[in-house]
Chain A
């Protein structure tokens, strides 16, 4: 019989985590997990749900840091005024996850914990240099999100550990995220591009760009960013940036992962993310 733990306060959290074994699972909104549970692909001895702890559902700005609880849902992030003002790429990504029903349940913690190469929020976390606070029975530790994913479905979390909070430094740049799936809505990402721009008038001072769903972890496009430094945003420059993405895909993605499509469609998603960010400058 599967056990379940659902602590209601931060004080109860360590005892619940201490009871978990390597066969146990922390459950967020269950977007992917419930499917695997029903299919028998996972057979945990215990489930632990932390969504009743109020602190884990809060979004707060404390000085230069925005703290997002691990059990904040996609819907919550999509509509939260702090996220909309400071982390619009996170809003973009959250708003485009699955269907409304999925967004009402799916959490930011689950999105990282599931460690899917197609995880919509992960390139955005990379863009914003996010850190994540991890709780264990003995206390908490804070690690950069870039250190979390080991391989698809596997993170650095130990059996007794759980994500509790994400920490985003308030960015000094404009940002946006666009995903390209197999259809417009309710679709798995085939390419997700998170873009940050710091402008000096019409010229790019600094650019940051990460692409999701083209490798196990989001890929940084430093050369594309260097290329854009001091340039204006025009059609040709945008297409050249897309060229960096399509070249990467052509060289690194296996054909069975829709390589040819992704190579061709790179210019679509890059054009769209620039269009979106231009609306925010």
Chain B
């Protein structure tokens, strides 16, 4: 292949490096106003009195929106598909406030400074209610009054397979897991712009993962014709799932509809942490059952998921987590039960991997504890249970295809020097009192799109310009990770032209084809990429047909070569694609274009195996990652360096969730919403991640590709946690494993 598998810079790298790229927060429209939001300062209560007279008197203030003058229809921020069946608990502005950071009102003014100043002049009187900061408090009935639908949603359960007969030798391993809430921490904070024009069309500009999803959400919320709502995806400075639920979009829409001028809203870092959404805190209790020689027989898993203040995606998230049991290991039986509880905290929502990393953190800890109990090496135990090529996913009956889990583990074992290192670690730990070393492995399976759980298809349009270059419209939402470049490479490879001879138009409901699914669930490259490849094939046929008509020759004899076309019967008559466009315009009177709709046909197993080597300072609880290796089962890397960089970033992100990241709450319900207290792994602590890609080119994806962006995040946290537990011979799985938690554990152990 000419392009696919090579490395190209992302399409807007130059603009980003030079500061010329325009994000939603940089946009300026004629007559544009600025919005700032008044947030609840209490975790739960009722706004008895709201006095915004002083705000209105401030020069430059145009309008104040609040629950009394704005659409009060209930919605669900996770609404991304037409007629999606969801429980609606949230409003644009809320008088019954449910968390510190809930929206009460907003000011629209000529500058952001004035809008923020005016917000500080609004006087609020609350009636305070009892509140719950932890899902267990909700179960105890502390906030039974919170929502008319109830505060606990408990009917999520599944059972798959047949429980094997215990011959009396089975070994049971009981484990618990707690995962704290984490923020996506995209470099770009949340922003949105809306304008409402004189023809009654509302346009929303925002960094987001589905323009058609927002169109459905906004049109339904404001009872508008879908044709009167246009949504444009802007340059995205990272999402990680943080820009696939609608927080700012309804606010700017409501404001623009009222003031009939463009309105921009930009959340600062504190607001993005506190008032958008986070990954859900989760509590797991499990029983894993093995044969004495390490064959997994049964998993019983109980989950309590903290939804935060509004329901959002939490029920779907818990259910999706329950669908992940058979994408990594094969065993005969599983039971899963989940409860989702509201709390007076940040709303929970999507996060990179959509429950697969959380599933993995819980499951792989079980595998590690079992390995210890059974006296089997952790890689060996995984090899005994890993899914093989062509295995059937027990829960769906789906063929998992060319799943390379076994090869991932074997390659990782070799490249990580696992066996030798085990000996080195034993020696080091025997000689060292203060520092202890350990290794962890994690194998994490994931999906490539929604098939077969949900419909998953998309359409791609292509045409040839007068220059002979190709325009491609596909409802992409590049998160900042290089999707546009990857798609240019896919199209260029198939068309036999240069990467820069393809232009990709990203999601804009006025321009790009309908894609009601959105850039979720690792479907972009696998499904939409294949659609783009197929569309390029069709466009090649169209070019040949046009040439055949133009020259009166047989289509079968027409050959494409770069941006030229000729017939083997007449090799001296070579048209450039530009010549052919001119001929088509003048004589054939027909555009050279193609439109192709691709329906996803399968969903092969895909996985990553991560290996971490750590050193724990038992005096201070600090963890240093000494080495890290990620092996990804990728089918075919499209843009190689980007796949590697994605995996490195995901590994550091997962390591951060394992060791340092969490949004901590004060007892009064106020979160620590800043980067002073929320510790990402910084460059001093981030490991140099080595990446190995296993490529077998054997899938329905474009050129045999599988997904990468989410699956490379799936195993990361568990690998690091496993290494810490190996170093300390501990059974900790209360994430993040901060120095405080590690030292508290060591102190308890010393005292026992």
**A residues within 8 Å of B by Cβ?**
40, 180, 182-188, 258, 260-261, 264-265, 267-269, 271
The residue that B739 contacts in the complex, of A182, A185, A186, with Cβ under 8 A, is: A182
Which chain A residue lies CB-closest to B684? Answer: A185
Q: Which of B685-704 contact A (CB under 8 A)?
A: 685
Complex Cα–Cα for A40 and B619 (A): 40
Q: State how many angstroms separate the Cβ of B78 from the closest Cβ of chain A.
A: 32
In the assembled complex, B676 has its CB within 8 A of some CB on chain A: yes
The 3 closest A-B pairs by CB, nearest first: A268-B619, A268-B620, A185-B684
Collect the chain A residues with CB atoms within 8 Å of residue B746's CB: 264
Contact B740 A185 (CB under 8 A): no
Write 9 A-B pairs (CB below 8 A) sorted by A numbering: A180-B620, A184-B684, A185-B685, A187-B679, A260-B743, A260-B744, A261-B743, A264-B744, A269-B620
Which chain B residue lies CB-closest to A264? Answer: B743
Contact B739 A265 (CB under 8 A): yes
Collect the chain A residues with CB atoms within 8 Å of residue B738's CB: 182
Q: Which of B668-722 contact A (CB under 8 A)?
A: 676, 679, 682, 684-685
Contact B434 A261 (CB under 8 A): no
Collect the chain B residues with CB atoms within 8 Å of residue A40's CB: 120
Contact A271 B434 (CB under 8 A): yes
Which chain A residue lies CB-closest to B618? Answer: A268
Collect the chain B residues with CB atoms within 8 Å of residue A264's CB: 621, 743-744, 746-747
Further pairs besides A180-B620, A184-B622: 7, Cβ < 8 Å = A40-B120, A182-B660, A182-B738, A184-B685, A185-B684, A188-B676, A261-B621
Which of B624, B739, B743 neighbours the largest number of chain A CB atoms within 10 Å of its CB? B739
Q: State how many angstroms separate the Cβ of B727 from the closest Cβ of chain A.
A: 16
Complex Cα–Cα for A265 and B744 (A): 10
Complex Cα–Cα for A143 and B322 (A): 67
Which chain A residue lies CB-closest to B675? Answer: A186
Q: Which of B635-692 contact A (CB under 8 A)?
A: 660, 676, 679, 682, 684-685
In the assembled complex, B617 has its CB within 8 A of some CB on chain A: yes
Complex Cα–Cα for A183 and B747 (A): 20
Q: State how many angstroms separate the Cβ of A95 from the closest Cβ of chain B.
A: 13
The residue that A268 contacts in the complex, of B617, B679, B684, with Cβ under 8 A, is: B617
**B residues within 8 Å of A by Cβ?**
120, 434, 617, 619-622, 624, 660, 676, 679, 682, 684-685, 738-740, 743-744, 746-747
Complex Cα–Cα for A219 and B739 (A): 24
Which chain A residue lies CB-closest to B744? Answer: A260
Complex Cα–Cα for A15 and B679 (A): 44
Contact B619 A267 (CB under 8 A): yes
Collect the chain A residues with CB atoms within 8 Å of residue B685's CB: 183-185
Q: State how many angstroms separate the Cβ of B418 from the closest Cβ of chain A.
A: 27
Complex Cα–Cα for A269 and B620 (A): 8
Complex Cα–Cα for A271 and B622 (A): 15
The residue that A265 contacts in the complex, of B120, B619, B624, with Cβ under 8 A, is: B619
The residue that A186 contacts in the complex, of B617, B622, B624, B682, with Cβ under 8 A, is: B682
Which chain A residue lies CB-closest to B743? Answer: A264
Q: State how many angstroms separate the Cβ of A273 from the closest Cβ of chain B.
A: 12
Given A261-B740, A264-B743, answer yes or no on A185-B682 (Cβ-Cβ < 8 Å): yes
Which chain A residue lies CB-closest to B738? Answer: A182
Complex Cα–Cα for A261 and B619 (A): 10
Q: State how many angstroms separate the Cβ of B572 from the closest Cβ of chain A.
A: 65
Contact B679 A265 (CB under 8 A): no
Which of A187, A264, A265, A269 neighbours the largest number of chain B CB atoms within 10 Å of its CB? A264
Q: State how many angstroms separate the Cβ of A47 from the closest Cβ of chain B.
A: 18
Complex Cα–Cα for A185 and B684 (A): 7
Collect the chain A residues with CB atoms within 8 Å of residue B747's CB: 260, 264
Contact A261 B684 (CB under 8 A): no
Contact B660 A265 (CB under 8 A): no
Contact A265 B621 (CB under 8 A): yes
Which of A183, A185, A258, A268 neighbours the largest number of chain B CB atoms within 10 Å of its CB? A183
Contact B679 A183 (CB under 8 A): yes
Which chain B residue lies CB-closest to A239? Answer: B619
Which chain B residue lies CB-closest to A271? Answer: B619
